[in-house]
Amino acid sequence: MSGFTRDTKRYGDKLVYEALGTKWRRYHDTHCGCGLNWVTEHAEPAGFTVVRAGSGWVALVGPGLTEGVDERALTANALWEAVTGKPGQGWVETLHVIDRSEAAEKTRKAENDAAYADRRERAAQSKKDPATPAQLKYLNTLVARTGRERFDAAYNKAVKGTGVAPRGAEEKTQAALGRLTKAAARKLITALVGP
């Protein structure tokens, strides 16, 4: 969603309007239809300044949008008129204040750590736990149905980044399967079952 923002880490003390590029491009295409870039051809000539752009967002400041406005009743009327060529709609938008102080960032990190601790622990454990007997039995069945080249490729892809070494040139299939973790075995099964 587009909206008015105060984010001291990104924009300093400035009140900015973060415009979602796809949304405003759609407004522009629907109402103006000139086929030009709405930022460079409409917003900037109207007096708006791009503070920051990237990842589909364009943060703008300027008269009637963030300067000389009542912060209790913010509207994007000025930008709407510049981009579409029509009078603003008068839609009042709220101001999002993002606290990125050191204390707030520590609190946010602690909350995230607490919220995701169980998931991280389970993921770490599954990378250490050896493959189950049921997984190994099923893998033996799958190995019998696939060729060595396909198995080797799938095996090496499944263990990539897990700490389990790829299959050696002379390594027996049973030895390679015995080194798998639960997570790697799950990936290998998925790869071998697929087309």
Instruction: State the average pLDDT over residues 170-193.
Output: 89
Cα dihedral angle (154, 160, 164, 169), rounded to 10 degrees? 50
Q: Quick: pLDDT tens for 85-106.
A: 999 888 899 888 888 778 888 9
Residue 126: what pLDDT? Answer: 60
Label residue 183 by pLDDT band (50, 70, 90).
confident
Q: Quick: pLDDT tens for 11-63.
A: 888 899 999 999 999 999 999 889 899 999 999 999 999 999 988 989 999 99
Residue 99: what pLDDT? Answer: 81
pTM of the model as a whole: 0.55
> Quick check: 195 pLDDT over 70?
no
Residue 144: what pLDDT? Answer: 87
Residue 71: what pLDDT? Answer: 87
* Nearest alpha carbon to residue 142 among 97, 187, 104: 187
In eight-state DSSP terms, residue 24 is H
Residue 37: what pLDDT? Answer: 93
CA distance 94 to 73: 8
